[in-house]
Chain A
Amino acid sequence: MSPVLVGHKLHKAYGRTPALRGATIAVAEREIVAVMGPSGSGKSTLLHCLAGVLTPDAGEVHFAGRRIDRLPDRRRVELRRTAFGLVYQFGQLVPELPAVENIALPLLLAGRSRRTALVEARTWLSRLGLDGLGDRMPGELSGGQGQRVALARALVARPRVVFADEPTGSLDSYAADQVMELFVDAAREQGTTVVMVTHEPRVAGFADRTVLLRDGVESMRVDVAAPLATGGDSLQVSAAEADPSAETISWGRPSRRRDGTS
């Protein structure tokens, strides 16, 4: 199966500080991938390059078979609006709009009528356990409720890919679990591919696959063959052999430098 999203040998520096140094990642359709790594490993930069928010200095990003990293701004904005959803650590809801209108925004931007957009948005309220909260303003929601509104907003227009940057970073572990369960269930239900950056192993536990970034390159990945309902020892840890552009991915760290030079 060809991947829906590929970042190939991505480089990105902020001034003279390199963030990505040849990171390569391929994400299959409907896959839920967690990107982990220490602070400064480039994980948020990778996410934003893949989502077309940042332009890599070198390397390529392909989405659905098309190269997208060199598209003009207008086309990339269009792509982010129609094919991608984004979730950030602190929701970033529009504070002047009630929850239901925040959720409806992508549909309104896509030209749907206000009435149908709001009806659709209300179905998401109940899907994410937010019944009765649609008229609250973002400031009147708890952290977990706000993140669920942000997830609904990211999913409502049925994007192919949702990018999430520390989606539970501001939540306690119980609220984080609830948000992740709803997020993963909704994504699976509508076949959405998810790429999420997290520093929490607990959140990565919800993903199909974990990619570990170090010093701006991918250093390993961990797969579990299938979700295990009853536990057991059938764990499987594998190198990235299934990845079509995997030459920079390896088990262990041959390409890694401990002294931080490149």
Chain B
Amino acid sequence: MFGRQGLDPGEALDGVRRPATTDSSAPRPAFRWLLPRGIPDGYSPGDVTISYALLGLLEGASRHGYDLKQSYDRRFGAAKPIRFGQVYRTLAQLERDGRIEAVGVEAGAGPDRRRYSVTAEGVTDLDAWLAEPEEPQPQLQSVLFTKVVLALMSGRPAGEYLDAQRAKHLAAMKSLTASRRAATSNKDALLFDYQLFHIEADLRWLDHTESRLASLAEEVRDVPGSGRS
């Protein structure tokens, strides 16, 4: 499967750049992050998420880059609109990976002459990404939000994805609780507490989202220019 590795080799899987060295006296992190060391500079919700969002938007109909930017901003860009450059860069990468293909090139200059459509591999890969729960990590909300909206747009089982994610987070809570109880100093325990509170916040958001799935689904369908029709 492509995906986590394929899109932006410079970026770690979840977009987090981790510190090169770790303090050996600290407890081993139960997960791949220990936020008290600071959110790394340049953290972004992830180019990975953006490429899947574009794949999802292409699923219903072929589109130009310009349309895609507009659709993306309407659905996912509330916090931060996507740049045109990033749209075209991502489309080029998706095309190289065989996840999308150009279905028409119009006469004229400029990158927006190409019209793209998703390939079968692209759909398979999108399915896999949507169904795979994320590792608990900071600032996961935009990834999860993207998954929920894409799932609702395309009639996929958003509730099941939320369940799978909830299971992953609950398992993380248990593991971290055990780690915290085994911690030998307050300092170590507090580091685990920090992660626990973040995961708990995500879980509350998952519950909250689930209770609003029906109205969210309506809202998503009402957005003009939505994917599948």
We find that the number of chain B residues with CB closer than 8 angstroms to chain A is 35
Give the contact stretch, choosing among A77-85, A156-164, A198-206. A198-206
> Would you call B29 and A207 a contact (CB within 8 A)?
no
> Would you call B203 and A201 a contact (CB within 8 A)?
yes
**In the assembly, what is the distance between CA of A181 and CA of B168, in Å?**
23
> Would you call B207 and A224 a contact (CB within 8 A)?
no
> Would you call A227 and B173 a contact (CB within 8 A)?
no
Given A212-B166, A253-B163, A232–B28 Cβ distance below 8 Å? yes
Closest to B214 in A: A258
Q: Is B177 an interface residue (CB 8 A)?
A: yes
> Would you call A205 and B176 a contact (CB within 8 A)?
yes
Q: Is A229 an interface residue (CB 8 A)?
A: yes
Q: Is A38 an interface residue (CB 8 A)?
A: yes
**In the assembly, what is the distance between CA of A204 and CA of B171, in Å?**
10
> Would you call B171 and A237 a contact (CB within 8 A)?
yes
Given A181-B181, A228-B178, A253–B171 Cβ distance below 8 Å? no
> What string of 1s and 0s marks CB contacts (under 8 Å) between B90-133 and chain A?
00000000000000000000000000000000000000000000
Question: What residues of chain B lie closer than 8 Å to A200, measured between beta carbons?
Answer: 200
> What string of 1s and 0s marks CB contacts (under 8 Å) between B165-203 and chain A?
011111111111111011000000000000011011001
B85 CB to closest chain A CB, in angstroms?
36
Closest to A238 in B: B167
Q: Is B56 an interface residue (CB 8 A)?
A: no
**In the assembly, what is the distance between CA of A207 and CA of B178, in Å?**
10
> Would you call B174 and A231 a contact (CB within 8 A)?
no
**In the assembly, what is the distance between CA of A205 and CA of B30, in Å?**
14
**In the assembly, what is the distance between CA of A202 and CA of B202, in Å?**
12
> Would you call B182 and A229 a contact (CB within 8 A)?
yes
Given A206-B177, A230-B179, A201–B199 Cβ distance below 8 Å? yes
CB within 8 A of A253: which of B28, B160, B168, B169?
A: B160
List 11 contacting pairs A-B, 8 Å CB cutoff, sorted by A. A201-B203, A204-B174, A205-B174, A222-B167, A228-B30, A228-B179, A231-B27, A235-B172, A236-B171, A237-B167, A253-B160
Task: Kindly list the 8 A-B residue pairs having the minimum CB-CB distance in the complex, ordered from nearest.
Answer: A231-B30, A205-B177, A205-B173, A227-B178, A235-B171, A229-B182, A224-B174, A222-B170
Residues in B lying within 8 Å of A, measured CB to CB: 27-31, 159-160, 163, 166-179, 181-182, 196-197, 199-200, 203-204, 207, 210-211, 213-214
Residues in A lying within 8 Å of B, measured CB to CB: 38, 173, 181, 200-202, 204-207, 210, 212, 219-220, 222-224, 227-233, 235-237, 252-253, 256, 258
